[in-house]
Structure 1
Amino acid sequence: MSFDLVGLPALSRFTIDRSEPLRGDSERIAALWPKARMIVVDTRGRTLVAEHGTRVVDRPAVEFGEQPPLGSVLLGEQDGVAYFAVLMPAEEGEQVPVGRSWVLPELTEEPQWLDLRQAGATLDDMSAGLFTTAAALFQWHRLGKFCARCGSPTGLEKSGWVSVCSGCGREEYPRTDAAVICLVHDGADQVLLARGPEWPEGRFSVLAGFVEAGESLEACVAREVLEEVGVTVRDVRYLGSQPWPFPRSLMIGFEAVADPAEPLVPADGEIAEAMWVSRDDVRKAIEVPGSVPGLGLAGGASIAFRMLQSWSGAAHSG
């Protein structure tokens, strides 16, 4: 029995115009700067979140200077307002370029520093898209400081969206690593879940893995499931996708069918344990976390959560 996602995965939401032509248009950026807004992401991948976790805190961009600060990125534009992000240090004692007090008069509560895993499921659509894009770009900046061709240092252009080599002039754009994530079920009321060795006892999710060179997505699904738990799948079908900037993945979601009579053989060093779980137990574990002993599931910011929620018919949450 196939199913569809009940909604977009939490980090797939993006409502404003990404405005690719604007990134290299210095005159237009200068014209938009007086009304632009800025969000700050720290080096731990956190931003300030307010309004009961529903929106990121943005500030007037002019508080950060007369023009976009070095290393800032343009996230997009909406209704004549450009949105930027800037990276700040997170360690105690480092200078924090945050302008005035972060407790703004229009906020009903003091904001908290939260990362995407903590806040992704509760943020509104616009905030989720802005924060996810900012996090992805800053991760790319961190990992791409040198040219892959000649090894020379690189510099950023076009509002942080292009890396240019100082030696050979090679241009590079934000890197994305393709990974599949698959909800394997028996075609009826059981789903195959697994736990990685680094995960806490009792926490389970669906299976996932990176796409190899020269490999199709469907072939990757079949290979990863077979390698990780020793099960052969069929009827592989696409469900949806979600950016996962930890550090730079795109999770491409599928469902597939397998025979629960096949013995499970967890891959040594990759899978600590795997098991078939009933639809009722998954539904209960989503709707009331902790209600099914030994069954904790993926957080609401992940596409795995949306896949399990959709398959089980659990009430909407996150």
Structure 2
Amino acid sequence: MDRDDHTRADPQRLKAMRKRADAKLLAMDGLLPELDENALVYRPLEGEADDLVYLGLKDGAPIFAALTEKGDTRPAYEQRPTRALIMRLGARDLAIYAGARSLVDWHARHRFCANCGQPTTLAKGGWQRNCDGSTGCGASHFPRTDPVAIMLVEHNGHLLLGRGAGFPEGAYSALAGFIEPGENIEEAVARETLEEAGVRVQDVTYIASQPWPFPSNLMIGCHAFALDRDIVLDKTELEDARWFSQSEVEEAMARGRGSTSFFAPPPEAIAHTLLAWWLDIKG
């Protein structure tokens, strides 16, 4: 997907894109994608609607998404049916949908200026909202991405995994938390691990990242080594946290719901990718 930023910033060019015969609209029911088998559905773009987000060029054709009246602030674990639906998509379609969902959701929840409370209007092809300078303060607002540190913490061949109150019974995953203002990734990993499990860490390294459109997070996957294995659990953050051996992680990843150790995160989650990476380097 070519995000085509130059077109976003050029009103005349953007208008011409809408009029192209090959312009398409990503079919969505609110925030849910319409699927044909396991693929996204696109329809010909018709009319001169203003409430469209320009997603960019897909195989040279301009792609748009329509705004919706209602966003969704529920955490990801409360949206399992939605996650099950979109996991039928291939990697490319999933990436396109994730971007569209995050943008459409952001517009639905940011119709008023956070500075003065006046209505805002869509700008820059949907990648910006502006407060009217004649009735309001004239501030510009942009889609946000919230960075989240998610980490595998290791000590002598064991991994520290936890479970939140909303997790399915038996499920454990990597610890995670939002990166706070003025904090780098390494500091966030150390702080979150200490706050949630009372474990101090060192030697934080970056592994991989994943956009997570519930509503608009960037999961930054890391690995760290613990200084000890003494857990002091923060019950407001986690329901439980435990150390798991390599053999237990191997069983959980291999047997899925048939595992006797714990239930691993689903394949669509970066925590699953991190566990697979860890097992791979362990050999």
Superposed pair shares fold, TM > 0.5:
yes
Do the aligned partners of residues 152 and 288 (structure 1) sit closer, same or farther apart at CA in structure 2, a change above 3 Å counting?
A: same
Secondary structure at 1:183's aligned position in 2?
Answer: strand
- Residue 175, structure 1, aligned to residue 144, structure 2: yes
Quote how far apart the aligned CAs of 1:155 are. Answer: 0.8
- Residue in structure 1 matched with residue 9 of structure 2 by the alignment: 24
Quote how far apart the aligned CAs of 1:157 are. Answer: 1.1
Contact 1:154/1:165 (<8 A) preserved = yes
Q: Which runs of 5+ in 1 are unaligned?
A: 1-15, 91-113
Quote how far apart the aligned CAs of 1:263 are. Answer: 1.8
Q: Which runs of 5+ in 2 are unaligned?
A: 71-80
Larger helix share, 1 or 2:
2
| Larger relative contact order (CA 8 Å, sep ≥ 6) | 1
Q: Partners of 1:177 and 1:240 in 2: how far apart?
A: 16
- Residue in structure 2 matched with residue 36 of structure 1 by the alignment: 23
- Residue in structure 1 matched with residue 159 of structure 2 by the alignment: 191
2:262 to 274, 295, 316: 295
Q: Partners of 2:276 and 2:32 in 1: how far apart?
A: 26
Aligned pairs (5 A) from 1:5-24: 16-24=1-9
Q: Partners of 1:143 and 1:60 in 2: how far apart?
A: 27
Aligned pairs (5 A) from 1:1-318: 16-32=1-17, 33-43=20-30, 45-51=31-37, 53=38, 55-61=39-45, 65-67=46-48, 69-88=49-68, 115=82, 117-166=83-132, 167-186=136-155, 188=157, 190-259=158-227, 262-293=229-260, 295-313=262-280
Q: Partners of 1:287 and 1:41 in 2: how far apart?
A: 35
Contact 1:41/1:134 (<8 A) preserved = no
Q: Partners of 2:275 and 2:108 in 1: how far apart?
A: 33
Write the letter of the residue equivalent to 1:86.
Answer: A
Contact 1:206/1:304 (<8 A) preserved = yes
Quote how far apart the aligned CAs of 1:286 are. Answer: 2.4
Do the aligned partners of residues 120 and 303 (structure 1) sit closer, same or farther apart at CA in structure 2, a change above 3 Å counting?
A: farther
Quote how far apart the aligned CAs of 1:19 are. Answer: 0.6
Tell me which moved more, 242-251 or 30-39: 30-39
Do the aligned partners of residues 256 and 73 (structure 1) sit closer, same or farther apart at CA in structure 2, a change above 3 Å counting?
A: same
Q: Partners of 2:69 and 2:42 in 1: how far apart?
A: 17
Contact 1:119/1:301 (<8 A) preserved = no
Query: What TM-score, normalized to structure 2?
Result: 0.86
Quote how far apart the aligned CAs of 1:89 are. Answer: 7.0
Secondary structure at 1:85's aligned position in 2?
Answer: strand
Do the aligned partners of residues 302 and 266 (structure 1) sit closer, same or farther apart at CA in structure 2, a change above 3 Å counting?
A: same
Contact 1:41/1:135 (<8 A) preserved = no
Quote how far apart the aligned CAs of 1:235 are. Answer: 1.0
Q: Partners of 2:193 and 2:63 in 1: how far apart?
A: 41
Quote how far apart the aligned CAs of 1:120 are. Answer: 4.7
* Cα RMSD for the two superposed structures: 2.2
Quote how far apart the aligned CAs of 1:282 are. Answer: 2.1
Q: Partners of 2:209 and 2:86 in 1: how far apart?
A: 15
Do the aligned partners of residues 145 and 313 (structure 1) sit closer, same or farther apart at CA in structure 2, a change above 3 Å counting?
A: same
Q: Partners of 2:263 and 2:239 in 1: how far apart?
A: 15
